[in-house]
Structures are given as C-alpha cells and as structure tokens.
Amino acid sequence: MQLALAQKIAEIGHQPLEQVILRYTAFYRIFGLDWSFDPTNPVWETYIDGLPHTTDKVQYTYEYYLQRYPSIPTSAEEQTYWGCFTYDYNAKTQKIKIHFGDYDRSGHSPLSHLRIAQRKEELRAMFQHIRHTHPDALWVVGGSWLYNWESYTRLFPPSFGQTAKPTEMPSLQGRASWNQFLRRGWRIHPASMAFFLQKVSQLERVEDYPGCFPYAELRTEAPVSLFYEFYL
C-alpha cells in the first residue's frame, strides 16, 4: 500500500521514486532507523541502491525489511510505556504529545468498554509522572486518526476530543496514519485497504493524497490542567 502511493506520487508529481519513498512512506522508521530521515544513512542507501534493479519492488522491500528485523527495536523498547500510552515532551513549546499503541494482552480490544477503566488508569499513572517530571508543561497535544473514534476520545477530557481538527498535510514518515489499516493482531483491514488502493489509482494531484485514507489525521490540544483534573 505504501509503495502504491509512492509510485503514484512519483508518477503524477514527476519526482524521483527514491525521494518520494523517503517522504511519503514510513519505510525509514520501519527499517529501524531514527527520526533524522537522513538519505545518506548507509542502511537507507543500501535499500535505495537496490530498488532500481528489481522487478518486484514490493517483494524486494519486504525481504530487505526481514533482513533488518532482528536489529529493529520495538516502540516499547524505544520509549517508556504506561500500558498502551506513552508521550513526548517538547520543553521549548511546553507541550506533551500523547502516543497510543496496542499493548493490551487481555484478549479484548484495547478500546473496548471492558478496557476503559484500565486505559484510564494507565493515563492517570502517566499524567502523575508528567506532573512530577515536567511541572512546567502547559499543553497536551494529540495527532492521530484515532480521534475519529469515540472509543478513543472517551478516554480523555471531553473538550480534548471535541476540538480535534483535520491536519491538512499529514506526515506519512511515521506509522501513525498507516496504522489505521491494521486491526487487532496486526491484521490488515480488507475494506480499508480496498478503499485506499482505489483512491490511489484515481489520484491526480499530489496534494490530494490525504483523501486516500479512510480516516483523516486529526490534531487537538488542551491545557494540561484539564488532564490533571480529569485523572488525578
């Protein structure tokens, strides 16, 4: 799916495919590399150098990923998680950014009614940590397609989800937008995939690529004090 979009953008935008793949796919991160997106990284250069010499770019990319797999850290290894949640803190803007991952091992959907209490307890513990570790924090921001789902927004102070607005040009270099095609057990959701591929085939302008995704990436923010009141 990611290669399909990259190849379409390269075609209609008259751009080199290797540059498009770096900007419009999450391959750099999927290969276990950092957030620099440095095109001269040897791991990335090796992948790009081999791309023109293969007839099946999907298979080549998948095989390269498998070679990298043993050395790729998981998200949980890269950051501290409180159950399904973690965060980043930008000291310059004094903003906390929330991240979600499905690390629920109960056998139930992580956003089901049965798991609401557990998710809120995780958020309570995380914001207790934030209050102690970053007392200067002023804002909490969120950016995800998950804010389209009431099952996700109900975990937060009401105004946080209610003020969510679409991101005009969402970044595709992280996995956030792409994860909307996955369901429990990391299985592809066939209907979402079919919707995306059809939209990609009809794409005529590069700037219209956000419309290929079933769910828009929404961005929201609220004072951190609301979260302290809600959880603590």
Q: How confident is the model at residue 16 (pLDDT cuts 50, 70, 90)?
A: very high
For the chain, the straight-line distance linking the first and the last C-alpha, in angstroms and rounded, comes to 42
**Domain boundaries in the chain?**
2-72+168-212, 85-167+218-231
> Average pLDDT, stretch 121-131?
98
CA dist., res. 84 & res. 161, Å (int): 18
Q: pLDDT tens digit string along 106-117?
A: 989 999 999 999
Question: What pLDDT was estimated at residue 65?
Answer: 97
Question: What pLDDT was estimated at residue 196?
Answer: 98
Q: pLDDT tens digit string along 44-80?
A: 999 999 999 999 999 999 999 999 999 887 765 668 9
Which amino acid, residue 132? H
Which amino acid, residue 130? I
CA dist., res. 209 & res. 213, Å (int): 8
> Average pLDDT, stretch 72-91?
86
Average pLDDT of the residues of the chain: 95
Q: pLDDT tens digit string along 25-36?
A: 999 999 999 999
Question: What pLDDT was estimated at residue 77?
Answer: 64
Is the pLDDT at 162 greater than 90? The verdict is no
CA dist., res. 142 & res. 154, Å (int): 14
> Average pLDDT, stretch 96-100?
96
Contacts of 38 (CB under 8 A, 6+ apart): 44
The DSSP symbol for 74 reads P
Among 145, 139, 140, which Cα is nearest to 166's? 145
Question: What pLDDT was estimated at residue 75?
Answer: 64
Sign of the dihedral defined by the CA atoms of residues 33, 36, 42, 48, in that order:
positive
Question: What pLDDT was estimated at residue 118?
Answer: 98
Q: How confident is the model at residue 176 (pLDDT cuts 50, 70, 90)?
A: confident
Largest CA distance in the chain: 58
Q: pLDDT tens digit string along 183-210?
A: 877 889 999 999 999 999 999 999 999 9
Among 30, 69, 40, 43, which Cα is nearest to 173's? 30
